[in-house]
Amino acid sequence: MPEQASPVSQQPSRVERRVVEAAEAVIARGTSVSPIEILIAVGWLPASMVDAWRQGRIEHLEQVAAVGPDKLAAALEHLGRWAARTGLRQHEAAYIAGTRDRRTLRFTVAGAPEVERAWRTHWIRADLSTAERERLTRRSRDAPDLVVIQPLKEWTCTACGGTGAFLFMEGPGPLCLGCADLDHLVFLAAGDAALTRRARKASRLAAVVVRFSRSRKRYERQGLLVEEAALEQAEAQCLADEEARARRRERDRERRADQDLAYDDLLMGGVPREEARALVQPDIDRILAAWQHP
């Protein structure tokens, strides 16, 4: 009787290996992993196209993917299996367009609910605390900021043929603030954290203003567009507590000076640099918290 061949364990496909390697790299440096992060990592989705999709300028991601729907579906399946083996927890993120109508973004041509849900599924590390999981889930469901651009060169509004100091990207091309229904907002330059935070909180509608840096090859934040009444309210609040904030800044300056001396003393006393940093970190964290919540 011929000897029966022993079963051979099935080796993972090249696609599965790429997906797993990308997922392990993403989760190693963060707290969660999403399908979009994986597809960008394996080179199937250009990050620039994802940004355009989030701005509502691309109907669905499948149309800009470097591979077809079958490979995309296989990648999502491999990601789900790996996440289950790894013990990650899943939650469904909201993908809202950075457009005036705040519509739900679509991933696929067909838009089948179960497939769209798979795209929206994020996988979270199981060792996170309840508070950390809630914070991560809440952040993933927040609508993105409206983004307005300070152009570096001349441009033309695709709706009215006009121009202006700011443009809003939506649909086929740039819109002036009037055509984007944002022309009632006023510009608040970056620089005063307390004023910015208060104006944004008071404004029912706000937009982040960015400008492209040719030297750094990226968009950088310049300030906010907010409602004029919200800015006036924030300015009044800041003037009312300016003296208290000035005293707090002086106390923080003195504490920083004391910590610098303490850090130097630790290093001069032979304490290793990393250990010295760990010893002074609680004081640094306390100061940062005070700056963020004056």
pLDDT value, residue 242: 74
Q: In sequence order, which residues have a C-beta less than 8 Å from that of residue 91 and are 6 or more positions away?
A: 121, 122, 124, 133, 137, 140
Report which secondary-structure segment, H or E, holds 188.
strand 185-189
Cα–Cα distance for residue pair 4/135, rounded to 1 Å: 55
DSSP 14-70: HHHHHHHHHHHHHHHTSSEE-HHHHHHHTTSS-HHHHHHHHTT-SSBGGGG-SS-HH
pLDDT in tens, 30-74: 899 999 999 999 999 999 899 889 888 889 999 999 999 999 999
Helix axes of 273-292 and 242-268: crossing angle, nearest 10 degrees = 180
Strands in 207-213's sheet, in edge-to-edge order, are 173-175, 167-170, 146-149, 207-213, 218-227, 185-189
Rounded mean pLDDT of 272-282?
Answer: 62
In whole angstroms, what is the distance from residue 139 CA to residue 72 CA?
A: 26
Give the CA distances from residue 249 to residues 191, 195, 244, in Å, rounded to whole numbers and listed in that order.
15, 15, 9
- What are the tokens at 247? 């005293």
**Residue 223 is inside which H or E element, if any?**
strand 218-227
Burial class (CB in 10 A: 0-12, 13-18, 19+), 185: buried
For the segment 146-178, what is each residue's pLDDT rounded down to a tens digit? 999 999 999 999 999 999 999 998 877 899 999
- Sequence-distant (≥ 6) Cβ neighbours of residue 260 within 8 angstroms: none
Residue 173 is predicted with a pLDDT of 86
Helix (H, G, I), strand (E, B) or coil at 152: coil
Residue 124 pairs with which residues in a beta bridge? 32, 89
| Cα-to-chain-centroid distance, residue 16 | 27
Q: How far apart are CA 13 and CA 74, in angstroms?
A: 10
Cα 130 to Cα 127: distance, rounded to the nearest angstrom: 9
Per-residue confidence (pLDDT) for residue 226, from 0 to 100: 96
Instruction: Give the rounded percent of residues in the chain with a pLDDT score beyond 90.
Output: 57
Question: Is the pLDDT reported for residue 6 higher than 60?
Answer: no
* HSE value, Cβ hemisphere, 13 Å, CA-based, for 44: 24
Determine the average pLDDT of the residues in 201-225.
Answer: 93
Q: C-alpha angle with apex 186: 181 to 188, nearest 5 degrees?
A: 135
Which range in 49-53, 113-117, 251-255 is most confidently predicted, on average pLDDT?
113-117
Tokens found for residue 220:
């950088």
